Amino acid sequence: MNNEKLKEAEIKFGNPLYVYDLSVIEDQFKELNNGFRKISNFKINYAVKSLSNISILKFMKRLGTGLDTVSIEEVRIGLSCGFKEDDITFTPNGVSFKEIEEAYNLKVKINLDSLESIKDFSKKYNSYPISIRINPNILAGGNKNVSVGHNESKFGIPLDYIDEIIEMENKNKIIIEGIHIHTGSDIVKLDKFEKAFKKIFLIAKKFKNIKILNFGGGLKVPYFPEDSKTNILNLSNSIQALIKDNPFVEKNNVKIIFEPGKFLVGESGYFLTKVNYVKKTPNKVFIQLNSGFNHFIRPIFYNSFHEIINISNPNDKKYEYDVVGYICEQDNFALKRKISKVRKGDVLCFKNAGAYCFSMSSNYNCRVKPAEVCIWENKLMKIRERENLDDILNGQIDIFNI
- Cα torsion angle, 371, 375, 378, 382, sign: negative
State the DSSP H helix or E strand holding residue 367, giving kind and residue range, or none if neither: none
Contact 11, 3 (CB under 8 A): no
Phi-psi region of 119 (alpha: psi -120 to 50; beta: other; left: phi over 0): alpha
Cα 130 to its chain centre, rounded Å, is 23
Task: Provide the β-strand partners of residue 278.
Answer: 287
Comparing CA positions, the residue from 381, 376, 271, 306 lying closest to residue 17 is 271
328 is catalytic: yes
Alpha carbon distance 76, 78 (integer Å): 5
What is the full DSSP assignment across 185-237? SSB--HHHHHHHHHHHHHHHTT-S---EEE----B---SSTT-----HHHHHH
Comparing CA positions, the residue from 171, 174, 233, 246 lying closest to residue 204 is 246
> Tell me, what DSSP letter sits at residue 264?
H
Contact 52, 252 (CB under 8 A): no
Which one is catalytic: 328, 357, 366, 374? Answer: 328
Identify the burial level of 269 via C-beta atoms within 10 angstroms of its C-beta, where 0-12 means exposed, 13-18 middle and 19 or more buried: buried
Task: Provide the β-strand partners of residue 334.
Answer: 323
Is there a cis peptide before residue 299, judged by omega within 30 degrees of 0? Answer: no
Which active-site residues does the annotation give? 328
